[in-house]
Amino acid sequence: MDYSIKIGGEAGQGIQTIGDTLARVFSRSGYHVFTNQDYESRIRGGHNFYQIRFSDRPVMAPCEGIDIIVALDNASIMLHEKELSKSGLVIYDSATLKRNYEKQKFFDIPFAGLAVEHGGNRIMENTVATGAVLGMLGMDLKIFNEIIGEVFAKKGEGIIRANISSALSGYDYAVEKCPLCSFSPAPFSRPKMLVAGNDALGFGAIAAGCKFYSAYPMTPSTGIMSYITGKAEEYGIVVEQAEDEISAINMVLGASFAGVRAMTGTSGGGFALMVEGLSLAAMAEVPVVIALGQRPGPATGFPTRTEQGELLFSLYAAHGEFPRVVLAPGTPEQAFFLANKAFDLAEKYQIPVIILTDQYLADAQWTFDGFDPDRLSCTDYRVRGDVFRSLGEYKRFAFTGSGVSPLGVPGDAKHVVVVDSDEHDEEGHIVEDAGTRIKMVDKRLFRKLPLIKKEIAPPLFYGSKDPEIVIVGWGSLYGAMKEAVDALSKERNTAMLHFSEIYPFPLTDDFDYVSLLKAAKAAVCIEQNATGQFARLMRAETGYEFKAQIHRYDGRPFTVESLTGEINACIGRL
Amino acid sequence: MPALEDYKGRPPAWCPGCGNFPILSAFANAMADLGLGPHQFTIVSGIGQAGKFPHYLKCNTFNGLHGRTLPVATGIKLANHDMHVFAVAGDGDCYGEGGNHLLHAIRRNINVKLFVHDNQVYGLTKGQASPTSMEGMVTKNQPAGALSGQLNPMALAVALDCSFAARAFAGDGERLKELVKAAVGHKGFALIDILQPCVTFNKVNTYQWYKERVYHIEPGYNPEDRIEAFKRALEWGDRIPIGIIYKNYRTTLDEKIPAIRKQPLIKQAFDRSMVEATLKEFY
């Protein structure tokens, strides 16, 4: 089984509530779930949709062929009717849409009418619709009723009862009057964890000991701030909304200097403002983690859509030469653990670490059996308290073999901690002399870099051990690529390389992925940008040049079918 | 108790006779009087001649970027509100490049003390007009005179309900020291605009020019009267008031944040065992 449900309507109609609830019902029922959202840059009106795919086997990208469309407006029908699978159905409320669709696959359910009749208020029409979908699927209402109880716990028994009655009315209506439903859900298994990219990243930061987060709201990274804010009091975290992104990164540098793990998050335009601070972090060797949620540019671009257009920007942004790490998670699970790695590397080497995500990954929800907290690393690399007090002397930028100098916490000892954006000596004071300059560049850059390179994991390999075709990609393309490998493997030996740790570019010592690419009949680099930024980086770093590339830059994610089709077409042209 | 020599830093690279010297001395004296050892406070400075200030002292130092002192100072204070945090900037740094941060630092009422070395000219870049240059001041880059109006930091501070706003004069070290101590003793964001002659590039606002105009605000003045404070803040020209122009007792930002009400962030260890409970919320 592999079903897709699409809920479409105007912004403000409650698409997300229906979508989130259904996704939660499916994940608690033990299904594998993938959801993604498509929305416009507006608060009311327009056309948005929420797509849920669920299956008894792992799903990790949207697919084509929708089984149920929940149409909250006429545009949902006009735009998405053609996406229906052979047995697909549209459910809608003719009273709300003020139109009747007489075709066979259309199913008119009085969402509003049933809500008034059974819940006492039209506001529960989305509860009716959710109940109806579950009725069509032949699932029971037990989990939905539990969720209603949790969501409305603060609103009291009356509201909970009204919603449960509304859900049942939609459910019964669908069971009785939907002759076309031919779904066969799998039997119940263990509940799964359901998590979105932004939440996983925010939680990953918290689980890495992040104590300070400052940002200016910007889609698609705002969700990270919202998640951390929700946990701030419980975990003892300060979240400060800055007046601009320049302030955000400088506040984070202040907090990090003072001795706590600190992070900021933004999108391309905000990152552009942070670039000056990024360079400061490098010079002052203050650890910082920056989440960069990409969206299509230039300038304001497509504010609510997806792209991988800032890989090279994240690599080359900022004046001066210094080491940095760029990570690009492909799944919420990778986002969680790479956030941990980002904080670890930032503090261990006193460098900026950038986590590249995009709107697609930020908003997409995936299911997992769980994250293993024992995989988290939480080493405190700072020199604090008694250890700091016991030092005979202290120089913030002392020359060491590794290039990493002791990161003292100011105020913990009588030693003063001095950092400077000017070139400085070991104590942190301004210098002008050439000798110290050379030694400091060697320390900051050349001594640290080989050590940082060793921390970077090779790309993830999946598929045939003797591949004819190798597809290559990075970041949020992971899921669609993996499903494409499965689909293409029916025809020929296919494999994929997925890069989630991008810079410094992974060494080939442990896994010679370049030879693998050279040995394949065809290697295709897939990117959600117009110019093939990763392919260029690969060429610069390894000398390997892709002959085949797929670039998508319409702001929309790949479906499994569209990616598979493009790969086939691309191979056909070779 | 720390002694004056405990604050001795690197030899200053300022011009002989620079108005920064008496500020440096007054500040060190204030710290000694208050008994704050070099490790007990942090100075965040920007770029410009004032930006070099903490290097010529001994103290925790974050010499960051031009205009960005207040965000860094805010981050430090929020992470460790037991630390005394001072921001030191010039008029170009704080009122020009960092103007937006000043507005919001005042609004936040972060418990940071800001000292602006206001010499009404750009020194480090050799003599261009600054936001506080008097309209019409002729410079190499402003041959027809500074065309923009002069920014009035005190009026701005009063308008924004700044918790503590004072004007000082570098030529009156004793008074400056007392104002620094008063600012440190005040709970809330404090701005001291320090009139500071630039002996090399500002040939208008000289020691002599200031001495002829500055006067100490009379003892009977009530700095908590905002309307009177605004009137006083507007005084400029023949008579320039020195002293505390305005103060109020607004709650500070760090007092309002629930996570740090009991103890500074820096003292709160991360409890990894909480992670498992949070993981359950995703089911």
Last residue of a domain, one of A439, A455, A471: A455
Please state whether beta strands A45-55 and A2-11 pair in parallel, antiparallel, or not at all (unpaired): antiparallel
From chain B residues 77-96, the ones with a CB under 8 A of any chain A CB are 77-80, 82-83
CB-based contact A235 B82, cutoff 8 Å: no
pLDDT digits (tens, 9 = 90+) for B165-177: 999 999 999 999 9
- In DSSP notation, A140-153 reads -SHHHHHHHHHHTG
Whether B193 contacts B154, CB under 8 Å: yes
- Residue A539 maps to a domain: yes
Same domain, A332 and A477: no
pLDDT given for residue A388 in this prediction: 98
Residue B56 has pLDDT above 80, yes or no: yes
Chain B residues in contact with A260 by the CB 8 A cut-off are: 79, 265-266
pLDDT, average across residues A312-337: 98
A366 and A424 assigned to the same domain: no
Whether residue A314 contacts residue A358, with contact meaning beta carbons closer than 8 Å, is answered with no
Angle at alpha carbon of residue A37, lines to A35 and A43, rounded to 5°: 145
Q: Are residues A307 and A445 in the same domain?
A: no
Is A187 among the domain residues? no
- The predicted pLDDT at position B60 comes to 98
Buried b (16+ CB within 10 A) or exposed e, A297-322: beeebbbbbbbbbbbebbbebbeeeb
Find the closest chain B residue to A202 by CA distance.
B278
Interchain CB distance below 8 Å, A419 and B103: no
Query: Are A470 and A566 in the same domain?
Result: yes
* Cβ contact A411–B60 (<8 Å): yes
Look at chain A and count its residues: 574
Range A57-66 average pLDDT: 96
State the Cα–Cα distance between residues B37 and B58, nearest whole angstrom: 9
By the CB < 8 Å criterion, does B71 face chain A? Answer: yes
pLDDT digits (tens, 9 = 90+) for A149-208: 999 999 999 999 999 999 999 999 999 987 656 667 777 789 999 999 999 999 999 999
Mean pLDDT of all residues in B255-267: 96
- Alpha helices (runs of H) in B47-205, residue ranges in sequence order: 69-79, 91, 99-108, 153-159, 173-185
- Spell out where A133-246 has E strands: 193-196, 210-215, 238-241
- Tokens read off for B253: 């930002």
Task: Please indicate whether, in this complex, the C-beta atoms of B55 and A246 are within 8 angstroms of each other.
Answer: no
- CA B95 to chain A, closest CA, distance in angstroms equals 15
Q: What is the pTM of this model?
A: 0.97
Name the token pair of A513.
């992925």
Is B40 in the A-facing interface, judged by CB distances under 8 Å? yes
- Report the top-level CATH class of B4-256: alpha beta
Please indicate, yes or no, whether residues A260 and A364 belong to a single structural domain of this protein. yes
Q: Does B128 touch chain A (CB under 8 A)?
A: no
Q: In this structure, is residue A43 part of a structural domain? A: yes
Say how far apart CA A424 and CA A430 lie, in whole Å. 4
**Could you tell me if A236 and A253 lie in one domain?**
yes
Of A455, A481, A504, the residue at which a domain comes to its end is: A455
Cβ separation A259–B80 shorter than 8 A: yes
Distance from CA of A24 to the nearest CA of B (A): 8
Q: Do A193 and B78 touch (CB under 8 A)?
A: no
DSSP string covering A447-503: IHHHHHHHHSPPPEEEE-SS-SEEEEEEGGGHHHHHHHHHHHTTTS-EEEEEESEEE
**Which residue segment(s) compose the domain that A442 sits in?**
385-455
In single-letter form, the type of residue at position A49 comes to: F
Are A400 and A426 part of one and the same domain? yes
Residues A204 and A331 in one domain: yes
Average the pLDDT over each of A102-106, A114-118, A438-442, B161-165 and give the range with the smallest value. A102-106
Domain-terminating residue out of A344, A375, A406: A375
**Whole-angstrom distance, CA of residue A488 vs CA of residue A463:** 10
Q: Are A359 and A303 within 8 A, CB to CB?
A: no
Radius of gyration of chain A (CA): 26
CATH number at residue A282: 3.40.50.970
Cβ contacts (< 8 Å) between A280 and chain B: which residues? 64-65, 68
Q: How far is A417 from chain B (nearest CA, A)?
A: 5
Q: Which residues of A touch B59 (CB under 8 A)?
A: 416
Which of B44, B78, B270 shows the shortest C-beta gap to A238?
B78
Percentage of chain A exceeding pLDDT 70: 99
Q: Are A353 and A346 in contact (CB under 8 A)?
A: yes
Instruction: Compute the mean pLDDT over every residue in chain A, rounded to the nearest whole number.
Output: 96
pLDDT of residue A430 exceeding 70, the answer is yes
User: pLDDT grade, residue B3 (50/70/90)?
Assistant: very high
Q: Confirm or reject contact between B12 and chain A (CB < 8 A).
A: no
Looking at residue A148, its pLDDT comes to: 96
Q: Are residues A170 and A120 in the same domain?
A: yes
Residue A370 and residue A404 in one domain: no
> CA nearest A415: which of A399, A393, A382, A431?
A393
Query: Are residues A450 and A465 part of one domain?
Result: no
Inspect the interface and report whether the beta carbons of B266 and A421 lie closer than 8 Å: no
> d(Cα A113, Cα B140) in Å, to the nearest integer?
77
Judge whether A184 lies within some domain.
no
Number of domains observed in the structure of chain A: 4
Cβ of A193 within 8 Å of Cβ of B100? The answer is: no
